[in-house]
Protein backbone atom coordinates (compact mmCIF):
# COMPACT_ATOMS: atom_id res chain seq x y z
CA UNK A 1 0.00 0.00 0.00
CA UNK A 2 1.49 3.27 -1.16
CA UNK A 3 0.75 6.47 0.80
CA UNK A 4 0.96 9.80 -1.01
CA UNK A 5 0.90 13.04 1.01
CA UNK A 6 -0.41 16.31 -0.44
CA UNK A 7 -0.53 19.58 1.53
CA UNK A 8 -1.84 23.05 0.85
CA UNK A 9 0.31 26.20 0.95
CA UNK A 10 -0.35 26.72 4.68
CA UNK A 11 1.08 23.35 5.76
CA UNK A 12 4.77 22.48 5.54
CA UNK A 13 4.94 18.93 4.14
CA UNK A 14 8.11 17.85 5.92
CA UNK A 15 9.56 14.34 5.95
CA UNK A 16 8.64 14.09 9.65
CA UNK A 17 5.01 14.95 8.91
CA UNK A 18 4.92 12.46 6.03
CA UNK A 19 6.35 9.72 8.26
CA UNK A 20 3.86 10.46 11.05
CA UNK A 21 0.90 10.48 8.64
CA UNK A 22 2.06 7.27 6.95
CA UNK A 23 2.42 5.49 10.30
CA UNK A 24 -1.07 6.53 11.41
CA UNK A 25 -2.70 5.50 8.13
CA UNK A 26 -0.80 2.21 7.88
CA UNK A 27 -1.73 1.27 11.44
CA UNK A 28 -5.43 2.05 10.91
CA UNK A 29 -5.64 0.25 7.55
CA UNK A 30 -3.27 -2.64 8.25
CA UNK A 31 -5.92 -5.34 7.81
CA UNK A 32 -6.91 -3.94 4.39
CA UNK A 33 -3.38 -3.90 2.94
CA UNK A 34 -4.21 -6.62 0.37
CA UNK A 35 -7.22 -4.68 -0.99
CA UNK A 36 -5.87 -1.10 -0.91
CA UNK A 37 -3.25 -0.21 -3.51
CA UNK A 38 -2.80 3.47 -2.64
CA UNK A 39 -4.00 6.05 -0.14
CA UNK A 40 -3.87 9.73 -1.04
CA UNK A 41 -3.71 12.07 1.95
CA UNK A 42 -4.74 15.69 1.46
CA UNK A 43 -4.00 18.02 4.39
CA UNK A 44 -5.23 21.59 4.48
CA UNK A 45 -5.67 24.50 6.87
CA UNK A 46 -9.06 25.89 5.96
CA UNK A 47 -8.56 29.23 7.74
CA UNK A 48 -5.10 29.83 6.34
CA UNK A 49 -2.93 31.76 8.74
CA UNK A 50 -5.81 32.57 11.11
CA UNK A 51 -6.50 30.42 14.13
CA UNK A 52 -9.79 28.70 14.67
CA UNK A 53 -11.36 25.57 16.03
CA UNK A 54 -11.52 22.52 13.80
CA UNK A 55 -9.91 24.26 10.83
CA UNK A 56 -7.41 21.48 10.10
CA UNK A 57 -8.77 19.16 7.40
CA UNK A 58 -7.64 15.70 6.37
CA UNK A 59 -9.13 13.98 3.35
CA UNK A 60 -8.15 10.37 2.68
CA UNK A 61 -8.84 8.68 -0.63
CA UNK A 62 -8.26 4.93 -0.81
CA UNK A 63 -7.71 3.26 -4.17
CA UNK A 64 -9.09 -0.26 -4.05
CA UNK A 65 -7.95 -3.00 -6.38
CA UNK A 66 -10.61 -3.54 -9.02
CA UNK A 67 -13.09 -1.09 -7.43
CA UNK A 68 -13.92 2.60 -7.36
CA UNK A 69 -11.93 4.77 -4.90
CA UNK A 70 -13.54 5.74 -1.60
CA UNK A 71 -12.88 8.92 0.36
CA UNK A 72 -13.49 10.38 3.82
CA UNK A 73 -12.84 13.77 5.40
CA UNK A 74 -12.27 14.83 9.00
CA UNK A 75 -11.88 18.26 10.58
CA UNK A 76 -10.08 18.81 13.89
CA UNK A 77 -8.12 21.34 15.93
CA UNK A 78 -4.75 19.77 15.01
CA UNK A 79 -3.43 17.93 11.97
CA UNK A 80 -2.64 14.88 14.08
CA UNK A 81 -6.24 14.67 15.31
CA UNK A 82 -7.61 15.20 11.79
CA UNK A 83 -5.41 12.43 10.33
CA UNK A 84 -6.33 10.05 13.14
CA UNK A 85 -10.05 10.80 12.78
CA UNK A 86 -10.00 10.40 9.00
CA UNK A 87 -8.03 7.14 9.27
CA UNK A 88 -10.62 5.73 11.69
CA UNK A 89 -13.47 6.80 9.39
CA UNK A 90 -11.74 5.21 6.40
CA UNK A 91 -11.19 1.96 8.30
CA UNK A 92 -14.91 1.80 9.16
CA UNK A 93 -15.86 2.58 5.55
CA UNK A 94 -13.52 -0.10 4.18
CA UNK A 95 -14.79 -2.55 6.77
CA UNK A 96 -18.37 -2.11 5.58
CA UNK A 97 -17.49 -1.88 1.87
CA UNK A 98 -15.12 -4.83 1.74
CA UNK A 99 -17.11 -6.79 4.29
CA UNK A 100 -20.14 -6.70 2.01
CA UNK A 101 -17.96 -7.69 -0.94
CA UNK A 102 -16.54 -10.70 0.90
CA UNK A 103 -20.03 -11.68 2.16
CA UNK A 104 -21.21 -12.06 -1.44
CA UNK A 105 -18.44 -14.54 -2.26
pLDDT in tens, 12-29: 989 999 999 999 999 999
pLDDT for position 55? 86
Give domain 2-104's CATH superfamily: Ribosome hibernation promotion factor-like (3.30.160.100)
pLDDT in tens, 85-95: 999 999 999 99
Short-list 9, 31, 35, 11, CA closest to 21: 11
pLDDT band at 66 (very low <50, low <70, confident <90, very high): confident
Residue ranges per structural domain of the chain: 2-104
pLDDT band at 51 (very low <50, low <70, confident <90, very high): low
Q: What is the DSSP code string of the chain?
A: -EEEEEE-TTS---HHHHHHHHHHHHHHTGGGTTTEEEEEEEEEETTTTS--TT-EEEEEEEEETTS--EEEEEEESSHHHHHHHHHHHHHHHHHHHHHHHHHH-
Amino acid sequence: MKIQLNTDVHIDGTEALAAQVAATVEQALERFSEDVTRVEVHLSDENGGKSGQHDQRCMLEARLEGRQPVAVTDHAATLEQAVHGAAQKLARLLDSTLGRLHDHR
